Amino acid sequence: MSKKQRKPISKKKNTSSNHHVNSKYKDTLFRMIFRDKKNLLSLYNALNKTSYTNPDDMKITTLEDVIYVGMKNDVSFLFSSIMNLFEHQSTFNPNMPVRGLLYLARIYQNYIRENGLNIYSSTQISLPVPVYVVFYNGRKEEAEYQELKLSDAFKKSEFSGQAALECRVIMLNINLGHNKELFENCRILWEYAYFINEVRENQKKGSSIEVAVRQAQKSCIEQDILKEFLEKNSAEVSDVILEEFNEEQYAEGLREEGRQKGQEEGKAKTLISLYQKNLLTLEQAAEEYGTTVEEFQKLLARKV
C-alpha cells in the first residue's frame, strides 16, 4: 500500500429513553455517497494529508444489524490501524460525543470478538486508535473547526480527579465557503456540499422542496457535479433528501417550540411577580398575558 506519512487532522422523529432497536436503517445522502470505498478513501486522505491508493485496504465496520433509534450513524471503517467514525449532521448536536461513545463501544466489542482478543489476559491487547469526525452542513452558522468532548456533559461537582472516560469529536463545517483546503483535496465532498447548497438556494427562490431537489439534480448533472451518481440513483436521492430535509425542518420546529414555551413561561413569571407585589391587578395581569382572569388564576395557582 503506497502512502505518505500520516499527519493529524488539520484545523483548516421522536426518540425514546428505552433501548428500542430500529431494524431498518434509513440512509442519508452522505452515507450513500461515501459507502463507495473510493470516495471514502478520498475523504480519508484529504483529512489526514495522506495518499493511500488501495480502497480494498479499508474494512467497513458500520453497524447494520442493530441501530438504536435516534442514533443514526453514517460510516465507520478500520484503516491503517485507525478506527474511523464519520458522521454527517444537518443540525448542531452537542451530544455527539455521547452518541460516539456508545457507537464506538459497539464497534470495539465486535473488533475484540472478531480478532479473538482476550481482555482478561495478563498481556496488553492491541486496539486501533479511534478517530471521530462529524461533518456539519446545517443552516445555522458554525465555526469551520470545533472540538466537542464528552467531559463537557459531565455534571459539575467538587470532584477534582480525572474522569474515567473521554470521547473527543472533531466537527468540521462543510457548507460552501468553509474548509476550502478540505474541499480542494476531496472533490467528491465538494460536489456533495454543492448539491445540498443548490437545493437550499432553490428553496430560497420559492421552490417547494420536491421541485428544489429536481432542479438541483438537473443543474448538477448538466455541470458534471455528482453526475454519474445522480443519474444512477435519481429516485433514491430524491427520497433520501426529502426525508433529511423534513427531519431538519422537524428539529428546527422543536427548537422554535421550545423557544416560544420559554418566552411564555418567562412572561408568566414576570406578570405573577408584578401581581404579587401589587404592581398589577389580577385583571391587568390577565389582559397582559392575553387570557381570561379565570385562566390566569389557574396559572397563578400552578406557579405559587
**Residue 68: predicted pLDDT:** 47
**Backbone phi, psi, residue 147, to 5°:** -120, 125
Count of other CB atoms within 10 angstroms of residue 16: 9
Query: Look-up: residue for cell 421541485?
Result: 211
Closest CA to 225 of 202, 204, 194, 199: 194
Please state the pTM of the whole predicted model.
0.73
**Burial of 85: CB neighbours in 10 Å, binned 0-12, 13-18, 19+:** buried
**pLDDT tens across the length of the chain (304 residues):** 545 444 455 444 444 334 333 334 456 899 999 999 999 999 999 999 999 999 999 999 987 654 444 445 689 999 989 999 999 998 899 999 999 999 999 999 999 999 999 999 999 999 999 999 999 999 889 999 999 999 999 988 778 888 999 999 999 999 999 999 999 999 999 999 999 999 999 999 999 888 999 999 999 999 999 999 999 998 898 888 888 776 555 445 444 455 555 566 777 788 787 778 777 788 888 887 778 888 777 777 776 5
Classified as helix, coil or strand, 77 is strand
Closest CA to 175 of 136, 226, 230, 216: 136
**Residue 110: predicted pLDDT:** 93
**Residue 121: predicted pLDDT:** 94
Cβ-contact 286, 267 below 8 angstroms: no
**Residue 125: predicted pLDDT:** 97
- What lies within 8 Å, CB to CB, of 58 at 6+ separation is 37, 40, 41, 44, 77, 78, 79
Contacts 24+ apart (CB under 8 A), 194-203: 194/220, 194/225, 195/29, 195/220, 195/225, 195/226, 195/230, 196/29, 196/137, 199/241, 199/245, 200/139
**Residue 235: predicted pLDDT:** 85
**Residue 244: predicted pLDDT:** 78
Q: How far apart are CA 217 and CA 233, in angstroms?
A: 10
Q: How far apart are CA 295 and CA 51, in angstroms?
A: 68
**Residue 113: predicted pLDDT:** 96
